Chains A and B, each alone.
Chain A
Amino acid sequence: MARCADGTHAARRFLAVAGAALSLSLGFSSSQALAFESPQDGVYEDRIDWGVTGDMSGPAAGSQHPWVKGFQSRMHLVNEKGGINGRQINVLAEDTRYDAPSERIAYEKFASQTPVLGMSGMGNSSAQTALVPMINRLKVPVVGTYTTAKASVEPTNPLIYGGFCGFKQMAQVGVGHFANSLKLDKPKVATVHLDVASGVEFNGYMDEAVKKLGGTNVSIPIKVVAADATPQVLALLDAKPDFVAIHGVATTSLLVLKAMQQYGVDVPSFAITYLGTPSVYQSVGEAAGKNYHFVSCFTPASAASPEAAADLIAQAEKDGHGALQDDINFVAGWVVAGLVAEAITEAGEEPTREKLVEILNDGFELPASGLSSKLVYTSKDHEGLKVLQPIGYDYATKKFKSFGDYADFEQYVN
C-alpha cells in the first residue's frame, strides 16, 4: 500500500514539474510517456530489472567474469521456468573493471537512471567500503556481494547482504580442519598473502584463528605481479610451518606452490575460495597440487551430488559456459542468483526495495543446496554463508572432492 501512495506522489510531483517545463519545452509528450513507464524500483508489468556489477575485463575478470555468467545462467533458468510471479528477471550487468569510480557510477545508474529492484556483485572491497554512505543514501539494496568488506557488514547494514564466503570463516575452517586432521596441538602456520588490504585482513584472521589454538602464524607477503616466489618460499623454509595458508590471485598461488615443490617444502596448504579453480590445479600439476586444498562455502559441480548439480550443468551447457561449470566462481554466481530469486519471490506480488529489505533483514534463511552451505541473515548478521569446507582435487578423475558435509565443519566457525 505504502508503495502505491509513494508512486502516486512521485508521479504527481513529476507532472507538476513537467507542467512547469511545458511552457519552455516542446518535448512534453515524450517526457510524459516516460513518466508512466518507469517505476522507480525497476518493477514493471512483465519484468523486474536487477543490477549486477563485476569486473568483466579488468584485473579481477578471471574470477568475476565467471561469477557474472553464473548469475545470468541461473536467471535464465528462472525465466525459462516462467519467471517470478509472472515477471521475467532482466539482469542489467555493468562491467566495473575492479574500479571504485565505475562502481559508483553503476550504483547511481541503478538508483535512478535505469532503476533496479536491487543489485548483486560489487566485487571490489575498497569500492564497497567507499560506497557505504552512498548506499545508505540512495537505498538500492545490495543482495549477494561477491566479496564482503568489513565496512559493509560491521555494523550490520540493512541494505547490504553478503554473498560470498568470508575471509574470517576461511581462516577459521582452514586452521581448524588442518590442526584437527594433522593432530596438531599448537600449530605453526605460515600465511602467504598479497600485500593488499584484503591480504592483510586475511592474515589478521589467520593470526586470530591460530592464536586461539595456542599456535603461531608467520606473515609472508607477495606482490600481485610477481614473477617468482623464491623469497617467499625461502621464508617458508625458515618458518618450518605445519601447514600453509595462501591468499592471492591464481598466478601468485601457482608461483608459491611451484616454488614450494622446487624447494621440497612438502607441507599441506589451503587457499582462499577464489583460488579453487580447475585451471590452478591443472597448471600446478599433480606433484605439487595433491597436497593443496581450498576452503569454500560453495561446492564445485564435480564435487556436488549429481542431483544438486544437474540444473547448473544443464544450464551452463545450454548457455555455452560448459567449461565454467567446475569454476567455483560460476557456482558462486549461480547460488547468489538463487538467493536473489528467492528473496524476490518472498517479497510478494508487488515487490519494492523496501519490502525486499524487510524480508532479508527480518531473518532470512536458505538451506544448504548441495552447491553451497546454508545461508542465514539475521537482523544482526548479514554475512550469510558462514560455513565452509575444505576441497581438494583428484587428478585421476579430474574432479574436485570434498572431505565431508558442510555440517562437519560448522564446529570451527564462530
Chain B
Amino acid sequence: MLVQFLLTGLALGSIYGLVALGFAVIYKAERVFNFAQGILMVCGAYLAYTATTQLGLPFPVAVIVIIAAAALLGIVIQFLFIRPLSGQPLLPVIMITIALSIILKALIEILYGVQPKPLATSLPTGVLILGDVRLSQLNLTAAVVSWVCMGVFFAFFRFTKAGLLMRATADSHEAAILSGVNVNRINAGAWAIGTILAVIGGVFLGQIQLASTELEHIGLLALPAVVIGGLQSIPGAIVGGILVGVIEQLASGYISPKARDVFIYIPLLIMLLVRPWGLFGNRELGRV
C-alpha cells in the first residue's frame, strides 16, 4: 500500500514538478509570480484536443505543433503584457497574470464551449504490474517524459549558449544589458520555456482526465510546490512538485481526500514562517 502510494505520488508529482519548473523559470527570469501558470497548463490540454481531434494530426506531428504553439503563446504573452510592465513593482504584474488567467479561461470557454473535451492521443493506457504494485502506463509515461524534459532542460541551461544567457539574465538584468544581451528576447525565451513545460503537463493531465478549465486548480498546485521548494530554485521546483504529489497520495490514502489540502498547505505555511526562501532557495534572494 505504502509503496503504491509513493510511486503514484511520484508519478503525479513529476507532472506537478514539470509545471512548477515552468513557473520557476519565468519567476527567475523576470521576478514575475505567474498566476496564469495553471491556465497555461489547461491550454496544453486544449491544444492537444485541437491538434489530435480537430485537426486529426498524427501524434508526433501533433506534439511538435503543440510545443510550437506553446512557445508562441508564451512569447506573445511576454511581448504584450509583461514587457510593457518591466520595472514595475510586483503587484501590478501579479494583477496582470491574474487578469490573464481569467481572460484565457474565458477565451477557452468561448472557443471550445464549456463542455469538457475528451483527448484521443496515442499515449499508452495500459497497466504495468510490478509485484503488488500497479502503475498506470499513462502515469508512468507522464513521469518519464517529465524527467526527460527536466533533463533536457538542465542540459540546456548548463551546456548551451542560450541557456547561459538565460541564467545570466536571470542573475542580473543590468549586467546582461551591459554585456550586450538582448534581455527582452531572453525573457521572451523564458516565457516560451515556462509555457512549454506547463503545456506538456497539461497534455498529460488532460489525457488522464478530460480537457477542462477545471484542470486549472490542479495546475495551481505548482504554487505550493515552488514555495516549498524555493522560488528561485530549479531543483526546488521539481522536488517541491514531487513532495506535493506524494503528500497528496498519502493524505488521501491514509486519512481522507479533504486532508490533502491540509497536508499540502501546512508545510507551505511552515516554510513561509520558518524558511521563506524554501528548501533549496537562496536565503538572500529567495524571500517570497
Contact = CB atoms under 8 A, between A and B. Distances in A.
Given A258-B136, A262-B134, A263-B134, A231 B115 contact: no
B161 interface: no
A283 B4 contact: no
Contacts of B117: 279
A251 B136 contact: no
A254 B252 CA distance: 18
B1 A234 contact: yes
A279 B120 CA distance: 11
Interface string B205-241: 1001110101101100100000000000000000000
Contacts of A251: 116, 209-210, 212, 214-215
B39 to A, nearest CB: 14
Interface string B109-134: 10001111111100001010000001
Given A59-B214, A250-B210, A254-B210, A230 B115 contact: no
Contacts of A62: 114-116, 212
A255 B249 contact: no
Contacts of A65: 113-115
B17 to A, nearest CB: 13
Nearest to A251: B209
* Interface core residue of A59, A231, A258 (most chain B CB under 10 Å): A231
B210 A223 contact: no
Contacts of B210: 250-251, 254, 279, 283
Main secondary structure of the interface of A (DSSP, over half): helix
B238 to A, nearest CB: 17
B118 A262 contact: no
A228 B142 CA distance: 13
* Interface core residue of B118, B136, B214, B218 (most chain A CB under 10 Å): B118
A390 interface: no
A264 B120 CA distance: 22
A180 interface: no
10 contacts: A65-B115, A222-B257, A224-B214, A227-B205, A230-B253, A231-B257, A234-B4, A279-B115, A283-B118, A285-B125
Given A228-B249, A231-B253, A277-B115, 18 more contacts: A57-B114, A62-B114, A223-B258, A225-B217, A225-B218, A227-B15, A228-B8, A230-B253, A250-B210, A251-B116, A258-B136, A262-B127, A262-B135, A263-B127, A279-B115, A279-B116, A282-B118, A283-B119
